[in-house]
A and B are shown apart, each in its own frame.
Chain A
Amino acid sequence: MAVIDRQSAGVPIAGGKLPEILLPTNCPGCGVGLDREGLRAQNYVCDCGHHFRLGADVWIPIIADEGSFQERWSGIRSHDLLTWTVPKRYEEVVDELLSEGLNESVRTGTCTLNGKPIWLAAFDFGFVGGTLSIVAGERLARGMEQAASSGLPYVLVCASGGARMQEGVLALMQMAKVNAALGALHRARVPYFSVLTDPTFGGTAASLALLADINIAEPGAAIGFTGPRVIKQATYADLPPGFQSADFQLSHGQVDMVAPRTELRPLLAHLLELYGAPKRDQDRTC
């Protein structure tokens, strides 16, 4: 569990200023009827500890100081490369999601966190399952390249089913594209913090998600490469309870800590202090 320094414990959590989200009437964790305002005030974490899934529109204000987020490359969109028609035309799927106000599976930009400038990228599970697409890969890679040259610490919030089927092998290639840029970020010695939320799987887990300097998992998040349904289909194995949970990944050495969302902002603020001032270009960005 994360230990919060006294100095950064005063960092406010965004709470009541967060956008409202669609919620069930009862908590899937404890079954108790939900107090919407109370839930919002604690970053959509139920008293029982259940962490509700959030979109990028909520994650951004959870991490960023109010009004500080400057989104980049929001105008690039996905197109149908494979003339994908079933069960629905891909172009139509994208159009619909855009019209609902979502903007691809990854949104990125700069902001401050407790006054410290950072680069932020947040996956949006609501957009085709947060799948890694050409647009997502492009936004991630460009942000990492810019963070590498500007020295801004890079904070990622993951929620993704993996690579996007509808973009075929080019979606697979995004794993290499993003990890190329991630290598540049590491060589520039820029701190990279990854927040793993429910769910983080497939090509996203097998590229940028678990390669941070500090991997922080949310309690209860499912994190892995192959999903449990496919494992059962392929191996007929009975999976133990808690398989691929955040605690499972902690005990198997894949994450540094499991931290509740209510402590995330103070934790990140504290880490940013520990890792110090942004480093300038180390002349080793590529």
Chain B
Amino acid sequence: MNVWDVVELARHPERPYSLDYIKRLAPDFVELHGDRLTADDPALVGGIGRWHGRTTMFLGHQKGRSLKERVERNWGMMHPEGYRKAIRLAHHAAKFGFPIVSLIDTPGAYPGAGAEERGIASAIASAIMEWFQIPVPIVAAVIGEGGSGGALGMGVADRVIMLEFSIYSVASPEAAASIVWRDNSRKVEAAEQLQITSREILAMGVVEEVVREPEGSARADHDAAAAALDAALQRHMQPLFELSGEELLRRRYERFRYIDSLIKAEPQFGPKID
């Protein structure tokens, strides 16, 4: 399987989306809406449900399946209101001591004029900074596409895991090709150069685990994929319950502050420190 096959699997329209997982993890899920400022962003779903005996806050990018739903969900590309909604719900979770599960599946934040007018850059920036102050356990999982700052805005967590055929990238292969060569048709080449598959990301020390998908990938068996994700999320969440809020924040800070330390350890890689 080459890199582009993985990209196509990660984007496959039959691949389970956030709500497909959330409804299996927490059948009593109650969706909550709105950023309490101006709008509700349907590209991000959020809400609470009981998961392994605890009320848990679920957040996730939601792509649509039918064309109509795709348009409504904006293909899982969040506007500024989405990041503000996420942080509102994160504070809500912190208030009641609910752990947070964040499912990442987006090509990126919405690259449109309206998003720019309403401050998408500072919305993402504030979200990234704010996640470091949410004193409850957070586990994030990349379930499909982890595209750029739009994904990272939902990806600051105590543990981050990836499904086997998901991708995580500094920019979508198309955007990277457009940036590097001013030619977005060189997307396959860009995907190869960027090293975006789950195992490559794991090797860089950016995620804690790659979750094996069922035979034929997650799209072939949504139930089995959800069971695998459930077990992995639970495995990473459990030890976090032992830690105080303060300790969680300290470790979350260190996780990202030294996220490139694997690279530094290798003499020909990374910054040499004087």
Contact = CB atoms under 8 A, between A and B. Distances in A.
Interface in A135-162: 135, 137-138, 141, 161
A84 B252 CA distance: 30
B129 A211 contact: yes
A252 B129 CA distance: 21
Chain B facing A: main interface SS:
helix
A108 to B, nearest CB: 13
Interface residues of A, number: 68
A211 B120 contact: no
Interface string B153-174: 1011000000000001111000
A19 to B, nearest CB: 24
Contacts of A14: none
Contact of B132 (A73, A173, A183, A202): A183
Nearest to B123: A206
B271 A175 contact: no
A170 interface: yes
A224 B121 contact: yes
Interface of B: 109, 111-113, 115-122, 124-126, 128-129, 132-133, 148-149, 152-153, 155-156, 168-171, 175-176, 178-181, 184, 189, 193-196, 201, 204, 206, 249-250, 252-253, 256-257, 259-260, 263, 268-274
B271 A179 contact: no
A81 interface: yes
Given A172-B149, A235-B112, A86 B271 contact: no
Contacts of A76: 271-274
Given A77-B272, A206-B121, A173 B259 contact: yes
Chain A facing B: main interface SS:
helix
A141 B257 CA distance: 8
A79 to B, nearest CB: 5
Interface stretch (A1-9, A20-28, A237-245, A267-275): A237-245
A134 interface: yes
5 contacts: A87-B180, A134-B270, A206-B125, A206-B128, A226-B115
